[in-house]
Amino acid sequence: MTNLTPTPSMFRDGRELSSPDVLEEGILRTTTSSSDMSLGEGPRLKKAQMAVMKYISVFKGNRVQRAAALVSQAVDGKGIPPELIGNPRFSHLVKAHCWLKRLKPFWNMVEIVLLLLNFLDVPAWCAGHCNLKMMREDYMAGSVPYISSVKVNTIQVICALCLSFKIYLQAIISRPTNTRIFKKYGVKMLAVFVLYLDSSLFFIGYMFPWIAGKAPNVDGSTIVRVLVVIVFHRDIRYSMVVLLKILPEFLNMGALVAIYIVFFAWMGRFIFHDSVEGPHAFSDIGNSLASMFTLILAINNPVVWTPAYKENPISCLFFITFLVIGVYLMMSLLFSVVFRGYRQRLADNLAKEVNNRRRCLDKAFRFLDLEDKGRITFEDLTKLLDVLHIYLELPHIQTDKIKFYFEVLDKDADHSIDQEEFHDFLTAIVMKFSKKYEPSWLEIQMECTNYYGQFLDVKSFVNGPYFEWMMIAVHIFNLAIIILETELDIRGSDYQVYVQFVQIALGEFCRPLQGLPTVTSVRLR
């Protein structure tokens, strides 16, 4: 029998699962109920409408509609976190989840503002003894539009308040899952507290100068803001966690590379101490280490070995041996440690995706298993697939094929399947039938006009090979014009003006052509 056990490669593109934007309740009031939507509307439903329908199905739908929404969420990785489903405070939790995800651009803007403050704050080396006008006239970086420290710390406090609100929303969502809030968000709370403390110390020193005069003149605001951004930005935080995890192994390999450099530095000092190379690169142990370090990093390394090569070409074998072993063996081993750490992170994310998918499918199975027997019938699966068309946009699946997969997985021949077989069945259905074609936003708009046929012709041409060849030829021609214009400029020819005109006209012609593939394929998120 064919092995139909679910694996990560069986589900779409294996991307990291993340909860999408859930629409607010105000939008839900203007949306028709899920029972009023026909199955034929599935292929033309927008993604925002599908998000609304998933919310309605999980919150207000019947057991089959809830199970179908959860199966779609397991396949796409988009929807409400499965740990929130079935909670008595479900509506309040989803509202908090909605605010958290819908304000994601705002959280990113807050992080950008914190980073910009490092460039706009008055530098510590000129604070207190020069004003902004003097800075712009007397200092190299004086043209930067600096703002006063009072305004900078006021903006910093506002950013800290916004980040505190983000932690509050995350704590609301995590509270029903019996997760220790401080254990999960303790680092973020500490980062925000340090941000508050930094601004508080500044305002205390600003209002009471006699206290600031006794305090040490240390400005850690720049470092604090960068650390806060690292803690709150998920991708940067994960990268830092990976670096910290691979640090012990990285230090072991770094120590091996250091020993290798020390050994060849000693050997070079021993070999070249009485030659021309000795005073140049091996005068003492410090100079020898610096020379070998420069050589292995390929930073102007001919300066190191050229004097020895001029005196005796055979001595070049010492440097060649050092470079071959150091670059192709030692440095490769060092980079492999970093690669192995990031590969482990990818494996962890993939395991997290599989766990989230299984939780969604388990909840969907429990919705279908009304009598809590641990098994569901063929009729339940048929109803599930009928509703599943709304979300997955799959073509109509014949009953015979559904029954065939059902019989293959029904090992006990009792016309019902258990939870594991339910997972296998859905995996087989998703892998067997591909998703329907999803039209772009511009194609949907042009479908109601008289120019729909011309639009399809243009789209097929843009996505075809001839358009790509044409753009390559245009770029090659543009490169030739640039070379010609440079040559005429060097010679001081009067034809340079005409060549520049052709270059500008060609650039203006290519700019809209380069955006055609994006315009014709963009879809609503």
> Does the structure show a pLDDT above 60 at 298?
yes
pLDDT level of residue 431 (50, 70, 90 thresholds):
low
Percent of residues in the chain assigned helix, strand, coil, to nearest 5:
75, 0, 25
Higher pLDDT among residues 75 and 256, named by residue? 256
Model confidence pTM above 0.85: no
Look at residue 300 and tell me whether its pLDDT is greater than 70.
no
Give me the amino acid identity at 373.
K
Looking at residue 185, its amino acid is Y
Percentage of the chain with pLDDT > 90? Answer: 6
pLDDT of the residue at 44: 38
For residues 262-276, give the mean pLDDT.
83
SS3 376: strand
Q: Residue 133 in contact with residue 123, Cβ under 8 Å?
A: no
- Higher-confidence position of 382 and 437: 382
Strand, helix or coil at 488? Answer: helix
Residue 336 to residue 216: CA distance in whole angstroms: 44
Residue 11 confidence (pLDDT) above 50: no
Q: Report the pLDDT value the prediction gives residue 288, as an integer from 0 to 100.
A: 84
Which of 137-151, 297-311, 358-372, 484-498 bottoms out in mean pLDDT, i.e. has the lowest? 137-151
What's the rounded mean pLDDT across residues 262-287?
Answer: 81
Q: At what angle do helices 234-272 and 331-368 cross, to 10 degrees?
A: 160
Give the span between the Cα atoms of 465 and 447, in whole angstroms.
25
Q: Is the pLDDT of residue 162 over 90?
A: yes
How far apart are alpha carbons 66 and 57 in whole angstroms?
A: 5
In terms of phi and psi (left: phi > 0; alpha: psi -120 to 50; beta: otherwise), the region of 77 is left
Residue 458, pLDDT score: 81
pLDDT at residue 340 is higher than 80:
yes
Residue 110: predicted pLDDT: 93
Residue type, 504: I
Report the pLDDT averaged over residues 429-455. 67
Q: Above 60 in pLDDT, residue 28?
A: no
3-class SS of residue 145: coil
CA-to-CA distance for 304 and 295, rounded, in angstroms?
Answer: 7
State mean pLDDT over 174-190. Answer: 75
Between 139 and 448, the higher pLDDT residue: 448
Question: So what's the pLDDT on residue 6?
Answer: 36
Q: State yes or no: pLDDT of 42 exceeds 50.
A: no
What pLDDT sits at residue 165?
92
**Cα separations in angstroms, 365 against 315, 372, 373, 417, 492:** 74, 10, 11, 10, 79
User: How crowded is residue 298: how many other Cβ atoms within 10 Å of its Cβ?
Assistant: 11
The torsion angle over the Cα atoms of residues 363, 368, 372 and 376, rounded to 10 degrees, is -120
Task: Please name the residues in contact with 112: beta carbons below 8 A apart, sequence gap of 6 or more.
Answer: none
Whether the per-residue pLDDT at 179 is higher than 70: the answer is: no
Find the DSSP H helices in 139-284: 149-174, 181-207, 209-214, 221-232, 234-272, 277-281
Banded model confidence at residue 212, pLDDT cuts 50, 70, 90:
low
Name the DSSP letter for residue 15: P
Which structure tokens are listed for 448? 């109601």
Q: What is the pLDDT of residue 433?
A: 54
69-78, 187-196, 350-359 — which one is most confidently predicted on average? 187-196
CA dist 147 to 137, 142, 151, 289, 473, Å?
16, 12, 7, 45, 50
For residue range 301-323, list pLDDT tens digits in order: 677 777 888 888 888 888 888 88
Residue 308, pLDDT score: 80
pLDDT band at 207 (very low <50, low <70, confident <90, very high): confident
pLDDT at 215: 55
Q: Any idea what DSSP says for residue 329? A: I
pLDDT for the residue 481: 87
CA 191 → CA 110, 157, 186, distances in Å?
14, 13, 9
pLDDT the model gives residue 128? 53
Q: What is the pLDDT of residue 337?
A: 85
Whether residue 386 contacts residue 39, with contact meaning beta carbons closer than 8 Å, is answered with: yes
Cα four-point dihedral sign 49, 53, 56, 58: negative
Give the chain's count of helices (H) and strands (E).
24, 2
Residue 111 has pLDDT above 60, yes or no: yes
Structure confidence at residue 12 as a pLDDT band (50, 70, 90): very low
CA dihedral 315, 320, 326, 328 (to 10 degrees): -170
Q: Within 13 Å of residue 231, how many CA atoms lie on the same side as its CB?
A: 23
The encoded tokens of residue 326 equal 């150091």
pLDDT of residue 338: 82
Report the C-alpha gap between 405 and 429 in whole angstroms.
8
pLDDT band at 154 (very low <50, low <70, confident <90, very high): very high
Under 8 Å CB-to-CB from 431, ≥6 apart: which residues? 10
